[in-house]
Structure 1
């Protein structure tokens, strides 16, 4: 589990843009001459950042407690600056969520509902102070990491939840958690690195990672395809294009090239949980890969990797076999939802807050 989280956190640090199309995926190949880390990302700058982070983590085993703390802070600060636009977007969405929460608060006060006690006042004061931090991405991320009102926010989230609309409390929870993630993830990477020292010490030097860059170019070429006309006619936007998702693309590269995974664990790290289709693709893949966490959002533009431009019949059959199993599962899933008259659900974010809601509700 530590190795899986390590790969996921590395992927997350390389995903420096906000939005669903910026997912990064990382896997580690075990070679006789060393460990090669593979990264699939839409942004070339992510490769340089991954190389820098891994080089820093390679020194973790040699650090004293004070040195490890300094190392974690150095990785955190560098990673936050690398993702400063992402931090800026999180702050903007946090501010919008707070404005909606204030509207609810004013409405409750007008209706003489209990919403004015000291604890709630402290919550809003801390939220206000958080959103007022501008121009310093390190400061707002540190303040989010030190946020002290999780317990009350968890109760408000539970009492104001809705099946159909996303409550501002859920958004506040999500974006505060996201902003605090850099400190938590970087500290976790530094703490875990000594336990994974043998793998990190065997890393191939950066000048031997040309294959990773070739993989990036392959993904760039594979990202967009026109989807079948019979399907696209159902949509008004004729610019709708199919997309290959990073984690399953990297998985297929390891499978078809018969790459050996570091530690023997067939796990692909990713900066976000899997979508519905990626989760099913991994589940029905003959390579017996480890299932990843999933948010199960359905993207109608999803297409399987390696489907377009294939000349080898065996690879086409490989994709077709997986897709047939996926289709059978999806049909059963839809039938079950119709029979049970499942209500519309609140749209979940495609990333996680990193904060365990149940742990605060149980307090």
Structure 2
């Protein structure tokens, strides 16, 4: 049966059409959202523990090993349910084995008391860094490239402080000859150094200039990766701290992996998959301003090749939906009617939720705790497949959830079309995890309320110099479009502010969850 005739396939088409269009308008949909970082209560400690354990499991960059953990309570023991984005069974097996070793070390530190804990803690951190060696190696490589760019700038000045900053930065470079663990500890130990404040001053004075060229400041990139490397020390430290405070969780426990369910199939394009047809299905049948929307979309298409981007997405063989780790956990708990510890339906994840996962949690009938989000669209996102289609027992609830999500997706797309607004400035999936200097950031970086495009317009009004001509912005779009075929290192390091908009869905440059001050 043709997709438009089958009710279930039509539901999927009607969901993905506005999502693909919205992604073509810009995958970054707003600034990071964050949850309260208080850790004074049992609940907040438990949430941070689940978040950090998930982080430790995420051992590769790019999203393939993104991990989530949910904590079940039954009358016999606690069960740590683990899920991953990984499609390779061996990857999942590696993560489970690592978590089992990790819990054994944690239990040993809890039972041994203060005696010898310092040595055990250092050994624990070393093992966590070793497990994540692939990620750490790439982060050091990207940091070193950014340091080289900073050095070129610092060499052009005769300021003594700049010379001292250059010397300080060299200790983190690959050329220093330090081990991966030593670089991580160095980044952690130097997080409050005077030179760090000098580096932050460079970010403040260089950001507006570099933004004019659609690029991130290399000083900002260095600061970011120092934060990422320091996190490989801070996160295990927090795991130990919270595990000791919540030692009862490790008395009787099990670690279980969620068996991933098949995702819904990718939608196929047909003769109706073109801009005006998609727009028509997004608008109410009685919409009086349909002509204005068509004119606005045509204008955006002329500037940014929206139709081409939509066609390219549907033609991309890598466009393959999969169920993200946090949704695997959520649906596993709901399907099997499992009980969260203290009825706290929080699911830890190694990185912030994407745009779709965030909407999924917001609209889920079980009302789970909504995770923080980086507000970026990854099109390789899917819901559990329903083999029986509309006859499946889960069809009605899935249909209602997807319709609620699609309503918000359409609203966001139509809002941008009406504004004739270009894409939002790209940002990393994670935060640096150093204390944010929000007093010195532009208002848009502090403002979390309102729609994404209210924040976008606030940003433009704050910095008139950021207004770009359509031709320059079009050139940026073309540049990052070409970079999507480059190697991992080139793609992830590219400083083009919009480079990730067309990159592979699991090729984020930074992939961890952040926001906690060091």
Q: Which range, TM-score by smaller chain?
A: 0.7 to 0.9
Counterpart pick for 2:171 among 126, 129, 134: 129
Counterpart pick for 1:73 among 112, 122, 146: 122
Say yes or no: does 1:160 pair with 2:206. Answer: yes
Counterpart pick for 1:6 among 34, 43, 49: 49
Counterpart pick for 1:31 among 68, 74, 85: 74
CA contact under 8 A between 2:70 and 2:80: conserved in structure 1?
A: yes
2:338 partner SS: coil
Deviation at 1:144, TM superposition (A): 1.3
Structure 1 stretch 222-231 or stretch 40-49: which is displaced more?
A: 222-231
Deviation at 1:172, TM superposition (A): 1.0
Deviation at 1:340, TM superposition (A): 5.0
Counterpart pick for 1:53 among 92, 99, 102: 102
Pair 1:310–1:224, CA change in 2 (3 A):
closer
CA contact under 8 A between 1:60 and 1:193: conserved in structure 2?
A: no
CA distance in 2, matches of 1:70, 1:338: 58
Larger radius of gyration: 2
2:70 partner SS: strand
Pair 1:195–1:119, CA change in 2 (3 A):
same
CA contact under 8 A between 1:276 and 1:298: conserved in structure 2?
A: yes
CA distance in 2, matches of 1:99, 1:57: 39
Say yes or no: does 1:197 pair with 2:247. Answer: yes
Residue correspondences, number: 344
* Alignment-derived partner of residue 138 in structure 2: 89
- Give runs of aligned pairs for residues 302-317 of structure 1, distance below 5 A: 302-304=381-383, 306-309=384-387, 313-317=392-396
What is the root-mean-square deviation of aligned Cα atoms in Å? 2.5
CA contact under 8 A between 1:248 and 1:278: conserved in structure 2?
A: yes
Pair 1:45–1:135, CA change in 2 (3 A):
farther
* Alignment-derived partner of residue 188 in structure 1: 238
CA shift digits 1:178-213 (9 cap, x unpaired)? 111121111111111122111221213xxxx5xx34
* Alignment-derived partner of residue 112 in structure 1: none
Pair 1:158–1:36, CA change in 2 (3 A):
same
Deviation at 1:57, TM superposition (A): 1.8
CA distance in 2, matches of 1:238, 1:198: 48
Structure 1 stretch 53-62 or stretch 19-28: which is displaced more?
A: 53-62
* Alignment-derived partner of residue 257 in structure 1: 336
CA contact under 8 A between 2:386 and 2:394: conserved in structure 1?
A: no
- Give runs of aligned pairs for residues 316-335 of structure 1, distance below 5 A: 316-335=395-414
Say yes or no: does 1:358 pair with 2:401. Answer: no
2:364 partner SS: coil
Say yes or no: does 1:246 pair with 2:307. Answer: no
1:241 partner SS: coil
Deviation at 1:226, TM superposition (A): 3.7
CA distance in 2, matches of 1:226, 1:135: 46
CA distance in 2, matches of 1:352, 1:310: 42
1:17 partner SS: coil
CA distance in 1, matches of 2:224, 2:262: 32
For structure 2, the residue ranges without an aligned partner over 5 or more in a row are 1-43, 274-309, 442-518
Deviation at 1:287, TM superposition (A): 0.9
CA contact under 8 A between 2:352 and 2:371: conserved in structure 1?
A: yes
Q: Which runs of 4+ in 1 moved over 6 A?
A: none
CA contact under 8 A between 2:68 and 2:326: conserved in structure 1?
A: yes
CA contact under 8 A between 1:224 and 1:241: conserved in structure 2?
A: no
Deviation at 1:294, TM superposition (A): 0.7
CA distance in 1, matches of 2:215, 2:104: 44
TM-score with structure 1 length normalisation?
0.86
